[in-house]
Structure 1
Amino acid sequence: MTINNKAILKNNDWVKGISRHGEMIIGFVDSMSLEQEAVHVVVAESDNEELIGKTIPMHFTQVEVIPTAATKNAGELEFLIDLALATGDKDWFEELSAELNEKKQAVN
């Protein structure tokens, strides 16, 4: 889905934005509702710590896709693995773990 002619939004995309209550949000798209023009974002970081780990609805215009880096270092991968565990995302955990193992094997 195109947002403000900027990017195509998909499930599992990392997004940032400001909630309707003015809170800074960074998280990933869990689901979308075309009828309501909303995305449901699992909050990974926020200036309102009570929101972290919760899924909140946000209007399409409130979010912006965070571009993914082409490569991640081991420290970034370990942080993301912890985040995948905290959010219960098994597929993402396995994907990140495999990427970290490849990096470790390349060093040896």
Structure 2
Amino acid sequence: MTVQISDWVKGKTNNGELFHGFVEAEADMHGIVKVYVVSSDNEEAVGKEVAVREQWLKLLPESSLDDAGALQNFIDLALSTRDESWFKELSEQLSSNSKSENTIKQAAIPNPFLKNRLGYSGIM
């Protein structure tokens, strides 16, 4: 497995601390990768860079940005890392997703006065 810069990974440090983060520097000739820690069971490691062996890492599946909850989590991450351009990009995407969801919801609302041979239906 080879990790690349910006890949989301989980793993453990040589002290056995579990963490989630993203790769900031690819493996050197000794197989050491630098990872920015976003969450960890060691709170002191959060927000810092750790160096770990590549074989101690596991790639996390890529997340879809179609989900509003995932977008809001990424917006929180952009705020905590003070990445203004990423924050703006995610906010615009959340706004456009909300607009398209509202359009889809409005189109999906059935006519509340559906008529059948027994009369009007109360099905929504």
- Asked whether 1:82 is paired with 2:76, we answer yes
Per the normalisation by structure 2, the TM-score is 0.71
**Match for residue 106 of structure 1?**
100
**Match for residue 36 of structure 2?**
42
Whether contact under 8 Å (2:18, 2:40) holds in the other structure is yes
- Structure 1: gaps of 5 or more residues: none
**Match for residue 25 of structure 1?**
19
CA distance in 2 between counterparts of 1:13 and 1:19 reads: 17
Go from structure 1 to structure 2 and tell me whether the alpha carbon gap of 1:92 and 1:35 turns closer, same or farther (over 3 Å shift). farther
Larger Rg computed on CA atoms? 2
Deviation at 1:11, TM superposition (A): 0.8
CA distance in 1 between counterparts of 2:86 and 2:56 reads: 25
CA distance in 2 between counterparts of 1:12 and 1:94 reads: 19
Deviation at 1:71, TM superposition (A): 4.4
Higher RCO, 1 vs 2 (CA within 8 Å, ≥6 residues apart): 1
**Match for residue 13 of structure 1?**
7
Q: Percent identity?
A: 37
- Structure 2: gaps of 5 or more residues: 103-124
Of stretches 84-93 and 9-18 in structure 1, the one that deviates more from structure 2 is: 84-93
Map 1:42-61 → 2, pairs under 5 A: 42-61=36-55
Go from structure 1 to structure 2 and tell me whether the alpha carbon gap of 1:40 and 1:92 turns closer, same or farther (over 3 Å shift). farther
Deviation at 1:106, TM superposition (A): 0.8
